[in-house]
Amino acid sequence: MQETVAAPPARAGLVPAGLIYTLRILVTAHTVALLVAASFAGRGLVYDDNFALTLDPSRFETHVMAGLAAHVIGLLQLIAAILVWRPGRGAGWPALASLGLFVLGVAQHFLLMIGLNAHLPNGVALFGLLLATTIWVWSPRAAQRR
């Protein structure tokens, strides 16, 4: 008599753990990278003779490099969010939020050329959306299938 060994059943109603933890790690890394980029932003701002804020390009390079790292992580986050949504059957809004974060992040580079009047509000919107995504992805509801 042969005994058949079946694979353990996947926990019904949950997104695969590997997908959700990958998304959690990437969202957290994205948050940290954005905070690091924001912390370096102040080093590149100086007051000119008229007490107006201007950019000192020689001191602004670390902010730009940290921003680029945040964009790369944001792209990886977008891929992970799509994988949680489609094959993982998880919520779809984090994929949409991740796409928005990626687009806002890329826009940051172009808005810096326009000026701080556009760059700073976009950065605040970027941080707010990322904070909402971070809170959700670490909640128990993030692992539930839809």
| More confident call, 121 vs 59 | 121
Mean of per-residue pLDDT scores for the chain:
87
Written as six digits, the tokens of 24 are 């959690």
> What is the CA angle 115-118-122, rounded to 5?
135
pLDDT the model gives residue 80: 97
The string of DSSP codes covering 85-112 is HTTT---SHHHHHHHHHHHHHHHHHHHH
Give the pLDDT of residue 79: 97
DSSP state of 37: H
The 10s digit of each residue's pLDDT in 4-63 is 665 555 556 888 999 999 999 999 999 999 999 998 887 777 777 787 777 777 778 888
At 54-107, the pLDDT tens digits run 777 777 888 889 999 999 999 999 999 999 999 988 989 999 999 999 999 999
Closest by Cα among 117, 120, 75 to 98:
75
Predicted pLDDT of residue 29: 97
Predicted local confidence at residue 58, as pLDDT? 73
If phi > 0 it is left, if psi is from -120 to 50 it is alpha, else beta; for residue 51 that is left
- The Cα 82–Cα 95 span in angstroms is 5
Tokens encoding 103: 């687009």
Alpha-carbon distance of 136 to 53, in angstroms, equals 36
Q: Are 55 and 44 in contact (CB under 8 A)?
A: yes
The pLDDT assigned to 53 comes to: 72
Cα–Cα separations (whole angstroms), residue 30 to 2, 48, 55: 51, 33, 25
User: Contact at 8 Å (CB) between 119 and 107?
Assistant: no
3-class DSSP state of 114 = helix
pTM, two decimals, is 0.82
